[in-house]
Structure 1
């Protein structure tokens, strides 16, 4: 009896009327998807996200994200806090909110030049141990650039190096600044870069350094990268000196895949790659640690814009919209991330609604309205 039942099932599946009618005969719908993501109970509950609008264009672009999230009924809600770059420290209630929610979306925070005022961006990264900065620089269809086939991920160590902030005036007119590098932090950023490459089907990791001059500090970083690379035999590993790296970036950027860098080099490399691939206004990014993550515009140059852009309300929201798509994936809401990313790419590909930095004259709100109109 069991054998006849199996034979009968096979006969139905091979029915001459085709597979779709056979499945309908078994009671299945024609367009049913296979299971691609099996959430744990509770994964679909709305998540709280700490929101820091920031300075300059920050409130404009974070407001754009809020509008799009609401339009697509994304399962997130925001706890908003006012933080500005001229504050001496990040308010404790903001730190507590990020610790509680695990995730933050942030506009740009202005960092005063000189004067001994510490960067709040650096404070946040150190306080929450957001040791990895990730910036994805890639060509967007419809946005003309000098180079094609650019798809670079810059993984930057976020807590050490020149950004340690350990500097003092030894005697009047003589300042000493310490570049701190440890084996622990070098190993974990190298491991993160290789894990990212492995999980995202990337083929190569390039370590960027200046070990020919800073033989101990950058030498330690290279040593860590080499050790970690042996544990990922399927991923090609190579090294490049930072000055040669910048030259290669502007001449042949398509040769790079994932790049892992110490702190200062990563900032320079990420902004250079962003400029090559279409500008800082379209490059997403985030900062992540073991327990917390902050998503923001990927390249720091121009992340607060200028007063004229703010007054005209013509800030480009694309970078933060794509960063919020990264955030949705981080929160395990991949379908919402795909919808948002697809809509933004459609707007860019169409080319009718572009801000000034992309060759158009649209306002932030006009871009937002177009993104919402193209949501599936």
Structure 2
């Protein structure tokens, strides 16, 4: 006799709740014969036979995995200030740069060590001896060439000075200029700056000024510039080609002039100058000749007093008077102006060294004063 128990009937038990049924997934493919086949996927694989060519096709089942979900990447909230972030990034960049420099230094050191070893291996005793002998010969050759140039310059100096002095006595100014030009070249080669070398350079400057004097007189320059007696149609072209850069030698009395105010658009500062104590009357006009202030720094005994000088310089510009009663201003180049010192070259200019009506302030005394002042400045 069967016993009754409390065990439930498994057949009558309800089925367990299953997961969500998969959705229908259609499929479609094209057979090799060109027939289109369609259907729906099942939970198990399928074999489909083409009705046209009876070819079998394998169809995958429905995927049992859920579809992937695409989630948006959340931005991390900044937990530090921007300045701290920038500082941290710069620090990391500095570490990277430091590492690169370290690697570069190590690479350079390695290359230098290799080069040193290569040179050490190349420098055999024989090669060292050849290099030393070559350096010795080159040094001896350079020293010999220098000595030869010194001896040649010394002999040229003696010959040129002798020829120059002879030409001065004969008043042959062209030959004297050529001779003293050679003497100046020799003095420069010898690198001499004593009193003898200064006298040679001074005579050469004086002879150069004599040979390149302005061919136009002061009357011709003022007449041409003012238009009273103009030969050419363009005065500026005539001035640049005939007057500018030419030498002028003048015996005069100079007084300090107040500095002219430079234009606002000019970058050059105003220059201190010396001018004629009494402007020259030329062709009904007054002409003032301006000299640089450094010309008479050591000659002028008292500031403001007129100084009797014999000086030379190259013409730089000619400025027209701004007013009716004003004077023309003939300005000389600051770097070219110098004081005359040699009595031997004065006859070429027609100056009288001794003046009976002014014995205490004759031209000879002026030259002696200027020569003494130049010697005091020579170191």
TM-score bracket, shorter-length normalisation: under 0.3
* TM-score calculated relative to the size of structure 2: 0.23
Q: More relative contact order in 1 or in 2 (CA 8 Å, sep 6+)?
A: 1
Larger Rg: 2
* TM-score calculated relative to the size of structure 1: 0.23
